[in-house]
Structure formats: structure tokens, C-alpha cells
Structure 1
Amino acid sequence: MRWNRNEGDRPSVRLPFTDRAEAGRVLAEWLVPLDLDGAVVLALPRGGVPVAFEVARRLSAPGRPAPLDVLVTRKIGYPRQPELGVGAIAEGGEPVFDHDLLARLSLEEADLAGTVEAERAELVRRVRAYRGDRPLPALKGRSVIVVDDGLATGGTARAALRAVRRRGPSRLVLAVPVGAAETVRAMEREADEVVVLAAPWSFRAVGQWYRRFEQLSDGDVIGLLDRYAAREAAARGTDR
């Protein structure tokens, strides 16, 4: 895992970040030395997309833009308190549950079957909204960077990393601007490398580490993906 150190020409990290775009630009500078040319950048929507946009832009070489796409995830909430995540699911993967939390709530995975199916349906809807009929880029044998705007409990990131791992990448990197220290350490078991700029122990929510942390819409996500696709097409000298 790489922690924030003032090494070489890498920018120092000052919290809070102004917004997700600034966080993405700083994060990208910490990724540049890792020899990730040609890596596929996968953003966890919605909040991870502005961060990943800056990462992919910085990692692009002349005439060879880094592929950018989304990997859609959904939280599986406790039915009585939906905001309490007891698991998560990512496209192409199976549900990943927090079994310690399930035990404390006296729940079995089977008790959440209805919730899981509802989240699968919403996941399919979002995949269609963001990508249409276009599949994910090929990941087998390639470096893949999974990007989010932060890590709180890490449930969706864990589900995303396991879904990507099933596709056979040669190297799997998780990159986030900020994360709860315990969660960041837990992610070391899920990725080949975790790059985090700051991992404070006093961590209530991802949004506390940003001055501007507005909620994003599906339209915001699609707009950023379209902007990047236009940039890719221009770099390659082709029409989209």
C-alpha cells in the first residue's frame, strides 16, 4: 500500500479537498510513477467518476488515451434501515456480505434475497443508463485501476474488486483520495496495491474531507463519460 509521503515531485495532500476533480488530479500524480501505462480505469459511480476522469486523463499517453469506464455497484441495505449497508453487489460479481454485521443483526443471507434482487434490478438499470449495450472493456491480462471518491465501510469497493478479479487482470489497483484507516488496511487483502492519499483515524463520512461534495446524478455521470469518449476519439483522430 502507498501512503501519502512528500516524495520527489509528488504534490502534498491538504485536507479537505476542494472537490472531487481536485482530489482526482492529486491522486493521479501519485499513480503516475507506478508504471500503469495502458491500465483500464474503472470508476465506481456516481462519486468516483469525477475522480477517475482526472486519473485517466493524466495517465493517457499521446495518441493513446487510458480507457475510462464505470463499474456499477449497489449497496445491499438492512431492510429495516436501508442506509445501513450489510453487503454490496457489483456488475459481473456475486453479493458480498458483512458476515459479522449480519450476525449482530441476527440475519442470514437468505433473509436478504428480496433486497438483493431489487438491487440487481437497479444495477441493471444503471448499467444500461451509463453504458447502453456496450460491454465493459476487456480486463483479462491488463492492469486495472478501480477508483472511488473515498472509502468509509468499503463494502462497495470490496464487491467491485472481487468482480474485477474474476475477469483475470494482471494487476489490480484500488485508488482513492481518502479512506477510513481500518477500511484501507482491510482492502490490502482485496487488491494487489492500494493507493490512498490520506487515511485519518477520525472518520465519520467521505464528505467531511471535501469542501464541495454535491450529490451527482445519472446525467452527471453520463456527461463525464461522454466528454472522455470525445477526448478519446479526438486523441485517436477518429469519430466516436
Structure 2
Amino acid sequence: MFGSGPTFSDREDAGRQLAEAMQATLPSDPVVVALPRGGVPVAFEVAQRLGVPLDLLIVRKIGAPGHPEYGIGAVVDCKEPHVVVNEEAARHFHVPPGYLATEREHQLAEIERRHRMYFGEDEPQDHDHAGRDIILVDDGIANGATIRAGIVALREMGVGSIRIAVPVAPRAVLEALREEVDGIVCLSAPEHLDAVSTHYDDFAETTDQDVVRLLKEARRLTRMIQ
């Protein structure tokens, strides 16, 4: 489902709109999986409004040399950490020998830190969704490197299906992702996207503390439903 044009007041508003758009296409027993940090407030609203569990998949962007905001790849937290490189994006920059390997180690250290903070003493099986239908949520897609890393990790996990749900993404990236997943819900798909933040009135940084708070609240609400 592709739309065009809306601006979201904040990530919570985007999540509410996504949940409404997904009502008619919801799998029977899904898990909402967020890409932290910015995807967590969006996914929290989706999970609560659809009455399904919330989990995280920690993915770290690899920025271009000298341009850390521009992703040329990503590292994902899974049994065997993966590096997914956006070859088209990487061609626009001179990537020195060893740069990707060095960045991989830096991002793996940050992934380990976040894993301890977000999950504490959880066992690996607490986040194993083999056979489940996954709704993968972020606050937007720029060039697709991060979400592709998430797809790779979920496929390795052996999930039943993967649906992407994002408020905004470039149309060309969505068309390319169509072949990699089982469904896409996107509320705004412009031809050109300079920055995800331009589609939000409030795009304040989501902190680690925000992520921990929302995870605790999601678990509390899930226990109440059960």
C-alpha cells in the first residue's frame, strides 16, 4: 500500500496512522519488530493499537567516509552479525581499504551495549521469532540499507513472513524492496526524499531511556492482555 503526501506531527502520530492502515491486512498472529531507536515509538503505537507483541531488532548504520549521516551499509544483531552494503550508495564515495571492517567492529560494540541496555538478562530464545509473521517497523526509510539488514537477519531467523510498515520512504526504494518481503505498508512514498525528518513536525531524537521505557510498557500491556 503506497500513499503520498502526509506530514506526521511526531512518531506516535505516524504509528497511529500506520496501525489504522494495517487493520485490513494484518496476519493472524504477528509480532511487531522495531528498528531502534527512532522506529520504537512508531512500533509501540502499532503494536498497542493492533494488540500484538513488540520486540526490537538492533541494526546500526555504517555511514559513508566523511559523511556519517549517509548510510552505505548496516550491521545487524543476530547469531552471526551481518554487514549489508548498499553498493549503489557506496559507489558515490571513496571507501578506503579496511573501512567497512573497522566500522563493523565499532558498530558491533555499540550493538552489544544497546543489547545489554534494552534486553538485560533476556535469553536469546526470548527474541527468536522463527515461524512467526513479522511486521518490521521504522520511522522511515532513506536508502534502504538499514531495513535490508533487518530483513536479512529475520530471514536467517526463519520467520514465517515479513511485512514492512513505515510512514515514509522513497518510491524507488519501496519498489526494490517489494521483491524481498511479503508486503509493504507505507503512508507516503515521494519520488525524491531528501530526509525522513522533513515529513515530521517533531522529529526529536529518541533516546535509549525512551526505548527502555516503551519496551517495559509494551511488556506490561502484553501481560495484561494475556
Q: 2:39: which partner in 1?
A: 48
Structure-2 separation of matches of 1:58 and 1:195: 16
- 2:163 aligned with 1:173: yes
Structure-2 separation of matches of 1:103 and 1:163: 24
Q: CA RMSD for the aligned pairs?
A: 1.8
Q: 1:33: which partner in 2?
A: 24
- 2:77 aligned with 1:91: yes
Q: Deviations over 1:180-235 (max 9, x none)?
A: 11111121132111111110113111111111111111001111111111111222
Q: How many residues align?
A: 222
Runs of 4+ in 1 over 4 A off after TM superposition: none
Q: 1:213: which partner in 2?
A: 203
Q: 1:118: which partner in 2?
A: 106
Structure-2 separation of matches of 1:127 and 1:196: 28
**Normalization by structure 1: what TM-score?**
0.86
Deviates more, 1:26-35 or 1:77-86: 77-86
**Preserved CA contact (<8 Å) 1:102 1:108:** no
In the superposition, relative to structure 1, how do residues 35 and 104 fare at CA in structure 2: closer, same or farther (>3 Å)?
closer
Alignment of 1:180-219 (within 5 A): 180-219=170-209
**Normalization by structure 2: what TM-score?**
0.91
In the superposition, relative to structure 1, how do residues 40 and 146 fare at CA in structure 2: closer, same or farther (>3 Å)?
same
**Preserved CA contact (<8 Å) 2:163 2:182:** yes
Structure-2 separation of matches of 1:173 and 1:109: 36
**Preserved CA contact (<8 Å) 1:73 1:89:** yes
Q: 1:21: which partner in 2?
A: 12
Q: 1:71: which partner in 2?
A: 57
Q: Residue 14 of structure 1: CA displacement?
A: 6.1
Q: Residue 84 of structure 1: CA displacement?
A: 2.6
Structure-2 separation of matches of 1:81 and 1:137: 33
Identify the structure with bigger relative contact order (alpha carbons < 8 Å, sequence gap 6+): 2
SS at match of 2:191: coil
SS at match of 1:169: coil
SS at match of 1:166: helix
5+ residue gaps, structure 1, are: 5-12, 61-65
- 2:159 aligned with 1:160: no
In the superposition, relative to structure 1, how do residues 148 and 133 fare at CA in structure 2: closer, same or farther (>3 Å)?
same
Q: 1:9: which partner in 2?
A: none
**Preserved CA contact (<8 Å) 2:65 2:95:** no
Aligned AA (1:175): A
Structure-1 separation of matches of 2:97 and 2:179: 23
Structure-1 separation of matches of 2:25 and 2:96: 41
Structure-2 separation of matches of 1:204 and 1:27: 22
Aligned AA (2:89): L
In the superposition, relative to structure 1, how do residues 109 and 128 fare at CA in structure 2: closer, same or farther (>3 Å)?
farther
